[in-house]
Amino acid sequence: MVISPVHYIALPLLAAFLIPLFSKINRELVRIVPGLVLAYLSAVSVILMNRVIQTGQPIIETIAGWRAPWGIDLVFSPFTGFLASIMTFMALLIWLYSYRFKKVDHEPALKYYILFMMLVTGSTGIVITGDIFNMFVFMEITAIASFSLTSFYRDRDGAEAGFKYLLIGSLASTFVLLGILLLYSQVGTLNMAQIAERMHDVPSGMKITILILFATGLGIEAEMFPLNGWAPDAYSQSPSPVGSAFAAIVVKAGVYSLIRVIFTLFDVHGAYEFLIIMGIITLVISEFTAMKQTNLKRMLAYSSIGQMGFVLIAFGIGTKEAVFGALFLMFNHAVIKSLLFMSGSYFVYNNTSKEITDLSGMGKKFPLLAFFFAIGAFAIVGLPPFAGFWSKLYILIAAADNSLLGLVAIILMVSIIEIVYYFRVVAKLYFGKPVEESITHKPTIGGYISMSILAAVIVIVGFYPDIVTGFLHNAADALLDKSGYINNVLHGAGELVKL
């Protein structure tokens, strides 16, 4: 058996098709099998990442035996592999957290685990595929899973948030589809490397139209302003594990697709400036909105949008240091925001309003949970010695190196807003007067384990950032090396090594 990137997609699909049958043998298998699959995929990630880093060559896998431009190919480079691995690890932790999170009937539980696994598969597929239409198909898989999971509780607001997400998401996919069509009519191929190679023959007016179509469509998935109206509702109405999955997995896939299209496919003048400007607007507006929120999950959602704006700014600067910082921030955001969602949602567990005022005095009731939340809050605003500090620092240095001092000022100003609203919550947790009648729920053991792992990662990466920087340097190089990407996909060896 060859360990190869296609396992990321084929194995979860096989499991998803089999789960309804497994549930006839033993109902508990419905919950356990996805965990086993994700654990196996985490092991696959380790093996493949090791191989990629050691050989220095990306793994190019052909599907159905047709080489790159003719068939679909999967590209597992240090960049895509890094993202896919992060997503898989986070999915495993979120699965652990959602194991027995809430008591639901058997049939919804079955659907939940299928949909959750497909959410992960779709996002991983977006990242590792090398074919633009295949990316669209994976986007749709992710999208349908997200719509259904958003309204999983079948309550009023959940259904409404799901419907809203569905309308915006389908519009996004239509734009992407139109972009793919125009692109195909111009270059006659769907392989991303070949598109990139032939891109300079496309007339520039056409190029801009296509880029706008892609930026609109993918910007909706990447929560870029003003296309992010769906996000706060989807985050706050979906089940908590799904909320953290959105922050840790789905948004990352959206940002990846936007970055891949702008960095590799197009060489349009001004696209980077566009990213910076959209990033600044997204960052500033969402952080101000986050400050006004009284609902905890909506606040976290707006903060998440703001962080994505920050990521876009960093990518827009476009130098190696900035891309490195952006990738670091994506990693940090996945870890930290998941921790915040996981710990925060237990404070408002049985509480439909999810107001921040209800958190008052929870620090004494749940010291460990409050401690996790505090770590997350300190880390995400970028206080040393936590992981978030380093990514912010690298991006600031990159901005200063490019003498974008205005940008530095904006980022620092926004950081102050961030500090204000996160500290407000933490202060309420520890110093607020306890609300007696609030109904709460003791976290599961799996929840404690996954939260401890995340908190440990935040602290350890904070003290020894070298653990991840090696991967991040390779990833940033792989993203910026456009000709290397084209070469590897179209003319590379592409042989899979047997294990």
Partner 1 sequence: MKKAIVILLLAVVGWALVDAFTHVKFGESRLGDLKNPNTVGAFYLQKTAPELSVANVVTAIVVNYRGFDTLGEVTVLFLAAAGLGSILYRRKEKGAHDTMILKNSSQLLQTGARLIFPAILVLGAYVFIHGHLTPGGGFQGGVIIATGFLLMFMAYKDYHVSHNILTWVESLAGVLFVTVGFWGLIFGGSFLKNTMGTGVLNDLLSGGVIPIVYIAVGFKVAAELTGVLETLLNFKIKK
Partner 2 sequence: MDPVLYNKIVTFDIYGSAIGLILIGLYALLVKKHLIKMVIGLSIIDSGVNLLFIAVGFIKGGTAPIFSPKGIELVQKGVTMVDPVPQALVLTAIVIGFGVTAVALSLVIRLYRHHNTARIDNIKSLKW
Partner 3 sequence: MVFNAIFLSILAVIIIASAIYAVAQKDLLYAVIATGVISLILSIYFFVMQAPDVALTEAAIGIALTTIIFVITVRNTSRREDEVPVTKEPDRGDEN
Residues near partner 3 (CB under 8 A) = 104-105, 108, 153-155
139 in Cβ contact with 223 (< 8 Å): no
| Residue 112, both tokens | 């939940």
**Between 65 and 103, CB nearer to partner 1:** 65
Residue 25's binding partner out of partner 3, partner 1, partner 2, none, with CB under 5 to 8 Å set by partner kind: none
Residue 305's binding partner out of partner 1, partner 3, partner 2, none, with CB under 5 to 8 Å set by partner kind: none
Measured between alpha carbons, how far is 375 from 92 in angstroms, rounded to an integer? 21
Residue 61's binding partner out of partner 3, partner 1, partner 2, none, with CB under 5 to 8 Å set by partner kind: partner 1
Count of residues binding partner 1 (CB under 8 A)?
A: 62
DSSP state of 495: P
Measured between alpha carbons, how far is 368 from 432 in angstroms, rounded to an integer? 17
Using rule CB under 8 A, residue 201 touches partner 1: no
Shortest separation between residue 456's beta carbon and partner 1, angstroms: 34
Residues 423-462 that bind partner 1 (CB under 8 A): none
List the Cα angle 334/337/338 in 5-degree steps: 75
Please name the residue that has the structure tokens 């049958």.
21
Shortest separation between residue 2's beta carbon and partner 1, angstroms: 7
Alpha helices in 225-382 (DSSP H): 230-237, 240-245, 251-260, 271-292, 296-317, 320-347, 362-365, 367-381
Measured between alpha carbons, how far is 476 from 9 in angstroms, rounded to an integer? 24
Using rule CB under 8 A, residue 334 touches partner 1: no
Number of neighbours of residue 31 by Cβ within 10 angstroms: 18
Shortest separation between residue 136's beta carbon and partner 2, angstroms: 9
User: Residue 496: phi, psi to the nearest 5?
Assistant: -90, 135
| Residue 498, both tokens | 């047997």
Count of residues binding partner 2 (CB under 8 A)?
A: 34
Shortest separation between residue 437's beta carbon and partner 3, angstroms: 22
Measured between alpha carbons, how far is 418 from 116 in angstroms, rounded to an integer? 30
Q: What is the 3-state secondary structure (H, E, C) of 437-453?
A: CCCCCCCCHHHHHHHHH
Shortest separation between residue 155's beta carbon and partner 3, angstroms: 6
Using rule CB under 8 A, residue 162 touches partner 2: yes
DSSP state of 499: -
**Between 148 and 332, CB nearer to partner 2:** 148
Residues 167-196 that bind partner 2 (CB under 8 A): 167, 170-171, 173-174, 177-178, 180-181, 184-185, 190
Cis status, amide bond into 226, omega within 30 of 0:
yes
Q: Binding string, 114-153, against partner 2, x = CB under 8 A?
A: -------------------x---x--x--xx--xx--x--
Measured between alpha carbons, how far is 298 from 232 in angstroms, rounded to an integer? 5
Using rule CB under 8 A, residue 352 touches partner 2: no
**What DSSP element (H or E) covers 75?**
strand 73-76
Using rule CB under 8 A, residue 29 touches partner 1: no
Measured between alpha carbons, how far is 76 from 52 in angstroms, rounded to an integer? 8
Using rule CB under 8 A, residue 102 touches partner 1: no
Per CB under 8 A, residues contacting partner 2 are 133, 137, 140, 143-144, 147-148, 151, 154-157, 159-164, 166-167, 170-171, 173-174, 177-178, 180-181, 184-185, 190, 229, 233, 237
Per CB under 8 A, residues contacting partner 1 are 1-2, 4, 6, 9-10, 13-14, 16-18, 20-21, 61-66, 69-72, 105, 107-108, 111-112, 114-115, 118, 125, 133-134, 137-138, 140-141, 144-145, 147-148, 151-152, 154, 159, 162, 178, 182, 185-186, 188-191, 203, 205-206, 209-210, 212, 496
